[in-house]
Amino acid sequence: MTKVVLVDDHAMFRAGVRAELGSRVDIVGEAGTVAEAVAVIDRTKPDVVLLDVHMPDGGGLAVLQSMQGSDARVLALSVSDAAEDVIALIRAGACGYVTKTISSDELTAAVARVADGDVVFSPRLAGFVLDAFRDAPVAPAIDPEIDQLTPREREVLRLLARGYAYKEIASELFISIKTVETHASNVLRKLQLSNRHQLTRWAADRRML
């Protein structure tokens, strides 16, 4: 069974997630602070960390930054769906981002997908990425490989944003589910690696909104 660590400063929320997921994944540890989280992840070596974004002492970002050497994959979980939170967590290395209003079935599926090495794109995250890579670059891309999306990746993202599941995307585009997953992973990697000026500016603009 997938070993999961829950990191959230609200004990009540941890209890809720434990009650919902407890029978379907193996919850090996919980943490309420950044320091606890780092210790628990180090000790229990989980497959997946469910990480809250907003916590005292730096929040999820601090946890992500201090688990550089760990093999655990991180799924960010938050009440906030503000663009700056989403993008910051993904760029720090999270494999996906879901909001806390997600249903237990969807959350279980998301955990399983992250444990399998895939990424989790909520429609909202797909929308953010499309938005961030939308405009034609003002300056020529520094590294076109990671600074631009391919037309196919764009198509996949659009369908994700429209609420399609991977299976539905696969049948819509006549490709295999595996290919959809590859496209999604590539997009996430581009989002993490791209240091193009526009992406930072986009994030800054969003904060102004």
In 3D, which of 144, 103, 154, 99 has the Cα closest to residue 122? 99
Q: Classify strands 96-99 and 48-52 as parallel, antiparallel or unpaired.
A: unpaired
Binding residue (CB under 8 A) for other proteins from 20, 26, 36, 131: 131
List the one residue from 124, 146, 182, 185 that touches other proteins (CB under 8 A): 124
Q: Which stretch binds other proteins (CB under 8 A): 13-21, 30-38, 47-55, 76-84?
A: 76-84
With H, G, I as helix, E, B as strand and everything else as coil, classify residue 7. strand
Q: Does 105 bind other proteins (CB under 8 A)?
A: no
Q: Which is nearer to other proteins, 58 or 163 (CB)?
A: 163
User: 61-64: long-range contacts at Cβ-Cβ below 8 A with a sequence spacing of 24 or more?
Assistant: 61/88, 61/89, 61/92, 62/34, 63/7, 63/34, 63/37, 63/38, 64/89, 64/92, 64/93, 64/94
**Burial class (CB within 10 angstroms; exposed 0-12, middle 13-18, buried 19+) of 204:** exposed
Find the farthest-apart pair of alpha carbons in the chain and give their distance in angstroms, rounded: 52
Residues 36 and 177: their CA atoms lie apart, in Å, by 37
Output the smallest distance, CB 113 to other proteins, in A: 18
Q: Which window, 43-51, 57-65, 80-88, 89-97, contacts other proteins (CB under 8 A)? A: 80-88
Asked if 152 touches other proteins (CB under 8 A), the answer is no
In whole angstroms, how close is the CB of 150 to other proteins at the nearest point? 17
Query: Among 130, 141, 177, 203, which residue sits at the site for other proteins (rule: CB under 8 A)?
Result: 130
Of the candidate residues 18, 54, 158, 197, the single one contacting other proteins (CB under 8 A): 158
Q: Is 77 helix (H, G, I), strand (E, B) or coil?
A: strand
Q: Which of 53, 119, 161, 187 binds other proteins (CB under 8 A)?
A: 161
98 binds other proteins (CB under 8 A): no
Binding residues for other proteins, per CB under 8 A? 80-82, 101, 123-124, 126-127, 130-131, 134, 158, 161-164, 208-209
